Chain A
Amino acid sequence: MVKKIEKIRSWQLILFSALFLVTIFIGIGLVRWSMDSSARKDGSMQEFTTECVRFQMMGFEYMGDGYKYVVTNHDPQMLSETPQAFTSLKFYMESSMHPGEVVLYYSTEKAPGYSEHRRLWANAVDGEPNWYIIETPVKNVTALRLDPTMYIGNELTFGDFVFNQEKSFGDFFEITTGRVYELIVYTLLISSCLRWLQEFVTKKFE
């Protein structure tokens, strides 16, 4: 046994680590895809489009002119207390100044209330100005709270709010720079650990 372990070459360790990570990556993608599609199939999660009136808006003053609001409070909030399966929210918002942090809090049955441990960050959608997107693996939420800006006096004009937009199979396996980075660093890390284990098993202690 020890002899066999001793014979394993470094490149084999590296290859094994890389394949292991790729398997995990594909596995996670598959799990997320199956959760997503089963939730859509049994009807607990649906794609739907709505407007800001769906939310209970706190810290805003209506300015007319469609859905134009001015922020009157340091912590403007848009609440929605409908239980649902949730995976993404894409929405349109024009802002008269830089909005600062755009975040979504969610609460679940087990963990009611809003906390920074259940906080998602909005990203601007590439190539579509004024559209923001918030994404997460499928979650059963009891309530959502969107904080669209941080500043008093900011004038916001809202458009469509698209919940749970359909994703293609490929979207679950999107390769980002972050993924590639993780692949390289963790391959090196895991193979170093394995190499150390190999050393530990085969060498006597000095």
Chain B
Amino acid sequence: MLNSIFALAVILSGAFGIYALWGINSRMTPLVSLVVLVDIAALFAMGGMLKTGVIIAYVFALTLFTLACVKNKADIAEKAMDFFSPGVVMFLLASLAMLAVLYATQPVIHRWDEFSFWGISQKLVKNHDALYTFYSSSMLGQSIPPALAVLSYFFQRFTPEFVEWACYYAYDVMFFACFAAFTAAFGKNRAHNAVTVFILAFISPYLFRVLAPGGKIADMYISTYADIPMAMVFAAATAVYFFTKENDSRSIMPVLPVLFFLTLIKDMGLALSCIVVFVIFFDMLVSRRQFSFLRLKGFLAECAAAVSMLLVTVSAYIMWSVHISNVLAINRSDFGGESGMGMVQMLVTGVKALLLGTTDEKFLTVRSSIIQAFFNTKVSMFGSGLNVVIIISAIFALAFLLSDKTGRKRIWMMYITSWTGFIGYYIFHLFLYAYVFGSEAYTLASYDRYMYTFYIGWLMLAVCCVCLAVRDGYSVLAGGGLLAVLAACLVICNMYMDIGNTFLAVNDTAFSKRQLIDAKSRFISDVVEEDDVIFLFSADNNGAHWFIYSYNFIDNYFPPEVYIETWGMSPEEEKATRMSELTEYMLKNGVTHILVDHSNEELSRNYGDVFGGMMYLIGHDTVAYYKVHYTDTAFWCELVKEGSIYG
């Protein structure tokens, strides 16, 4: 809690420093400050100095703040008043309110990929005070870039233990910083427009999850997944440039750290960063006269700006690639996956197949299903991708109508460039499904999740265009337009969800499965030694139990479940086969202990003997931990601890 408040204060003081020293629009500074600090920490982390890096980032922000105060001693009160523009006030209020809610409800990590990577990586980083590349663990995906894990760590540098809700809080502060950047067009006299945009941004992720009122809690704002962060940072990076009035490097410099951060969120961040550069470059062409950058002027300056943005993006990508090839000996350009192609080879093969045709059956099937999916798969409360694109286009059209002359050119240009970006993004996913994914490609696994990253970002870009119209064009009508868009979104949201679907509804029972397993883990935690290799026996198991146990006992190794083929065997044969194959598997993995989470009749029939026939008792609230002793061809178990979590 204290560390979270401290981190928020550090980000704000950094923001004030950036605002007062360089005269950057104050609404953008929370985001710029946050990403600069996390970038610094991430750079140090890649060099194996995460702990120091975060301290240096803290000190850096406070130094900026002090410098700004010293430099503006004379009119500090006035500067501070100016700094707290509507966007910054909303950022601060939302951050404090969210802190209160998360502290009161204390949500825990609960979704599938949080246990396989996004959450467990942050726990590992906190436990070891170093990036997850530096040590081995049973986590999957060690080569995924570290920006979000570092961000979480930034909010819990001084806590004695890993705090799960603090991860969510770190993400949320980042979201609110992005939302503040969306309000960058509005000063004090336009507070009501700022409020409208902020709330619109706040509900936008919900629009892309199809829910039912009173049903499941949607994990927006209590998630460690990277898809929505990428969407928001993608749109905010564009907004940080889009609303600047300065005709020089001050409109480009703030974008650079955001792009660095975006590229380090996930591999797809590279593609999104490139789209941002593309959009900004063409916007400069139509909106800037006599632009100056690094002593260059005009078109040359615009090219130089684009090149420097690209350089920052590429260097972020290369730094991480060098890091993982040094530390893990993984070649990042090699995507692995089904066909084992490298990235360039994948793009070349894909483009060839697309333009010249191919006989590759998987490519053709995936191509037709991904095209179908755009029209038919429901990805949002609006419906299919087609509907989303129509609505986004309508918002662009509204902005276009209500804008002034330059604004119209810019909006038209952004519409075209973002369309181009979308087509590129879509085709890139076609290649990913066709060449990297295995059999999941045929069902387009996680299609909606990958797509809404772009749709949310795109929607916010369209909203930014309306904001531009409010600032430069028919202010009142465009302000009404913003309200109308928000009203429409609220109406749709109310059809699909209510408060019970949001993070506010989190209570003790919301994550009951996780809590049950946590209670069982606590029960046996005093007998689990550090280097125990544990095999999990669980009857009602879809794999989630395995993930949660290996997350709870993060220092122990849990070999994955094993499938033993026994179809068509007699009960005696089945029992013998299972026994010998399981023994072999356990020996191979060096299993020393067995954890029985839940047993049923079938498990009891096949394996009851090795547990002394006691197995059927392990149920809902009981758990047992055994030591394994091997004989020549089999094994038997010695009870270490058994009992009910209710005592």
Chain A residues near B (Cβ < 8 Å): 10, 95-98, 101, 116, 119-121, 123-124, 126, 151, 153, 177-178, 181-182, 184-185, 188-189, 191-193, 195-196, 199-200, 203, 205-206
Contact = CB atoms under 8 A, between A and B. Distances in A.
Nearest to A116: B212
Interface of B: 97, 101, 104-105, 191-193, 195-196, 199, 212, 214-215, 473-477, 479-480, 483, 486, 499-500, 504-505, 507-509, 512-513, 516, 540, 598, 600, 619-620
A121 B476 contact: no
A10 B480 CA distance: 18
Given A120-B214, A121-B500, A189 B479 contact: no
B500 A192 contact: no
Contacts of A193: 192, 483
B549 to A, nearest CB: 15
Nearest to B194: A192
Nearest to A185: B199
Given A95-B620, A96-B619, A195 B192 contact: yes
Nearest to A129: B646
B199 A189 contact: yes
A153 B601 CA distance: 11
B507 A206 contact: no
B507 A126 contact: yes
Contact of B504 (A98, A178, A199): A178
A185 B193 CA distance: 14
A121 B510 CA distance: 12
B199 A188 contact: yes
A97 B192 contact: no
Contacts of B540: 97, 151, 153
A193 B487 CA distance: 10
A199 B479 contact: yes
B97 A184 contact: yes
Nearest to B212: A116
B484 to A, nearest CB: 10
B192 A196 contact: yes
Contacts of A196: 192-193, 476, 479-480, 483
Contact of B483 (A116, A184, A192): A192
B199 A98 contact: no
B214 A121 contact: yes
Contacts of A189: 195-196, 199, 486
CB-CB nearest 5 A-B residue pairs: A192-B192, A124-B509, A195-B192, A178-B499, A121-B214
A181 B504 CA distance: 8
Given A188-B195, A203-B476, A206-B473, 16 more contacts: A97-B598, A120-B214, A121-B500, A126-B508, A178-B505, A181-B504, A182-B499, A185-B199, A192-B483, A195-B192, A196-B479, A196-B480, A199-B476, A205-B474, A206-B474, A206-B475
A182 B474 CA distance: 31
A196 B476 CA distance: 7
B476 A124 contact: no
12 contacts: A121-B215, A123-B507, A124-B512, A181-B101, A181-B499, A189-B199, A192-B193, A195-B192, A196-B476, A199-B192, A199-B475, A199-B479
A10 B191 CA distance: 10
B509 A123 contact: yes
A189 B482 CA distance: 12
A191 B620 CA distance: 51
Given A177-B504, A193-B483, A205-B474, A98 B513 contact: yes
Contacts of B512: 98, 124
A193 B483 CA distance: 7
Nearest to B540: A97
Contacts of B196: 189, 192
Nearest to B516: A98
A114 B508 CA distance: 29
Contacts of A203: 476
| Residue of A10, A101, A121, A192 with most partner-chain B CB within 10 A | A192
A200 B195 contact: no
A192 B195 contact: yes
Nearest to B515: A98
Most chain B Cβ neighbours within 10 Å, of A10, A124, A184, A188: A188
A92 B192 CA distance: 49
A126 B191 CA distance: 41
Nearest to B197: A192
A91 B193 CA distance: 48
Contacts of B475: 199, 206
Contacts of A119: 214
Contact of A96 (B195, B474, B620): B620
Given A119-B214, A181-B504, A205 B192 contact: no
A124 B101 CA distance: 20
B589 to A, nearest CB: 28
Nearest to A201: B476
Contacts of A195: 191-192
A49 B433 CA distance: 57
B9 to A, nearest CB: 22
B620 A97 contact: yes
Among B104, B105, B473, B512, chain A packs the most CB atoms within 10 A around the CB of B512
Contacts of B104: 177
A115 to B, nearest CB: 12
Nearest to A181: B504
Contacts of A98: 512-513, 516
A184 B93 CA distance: 10
B263 to A, nearest CB: 34
A118 to B, nearest CB: 11
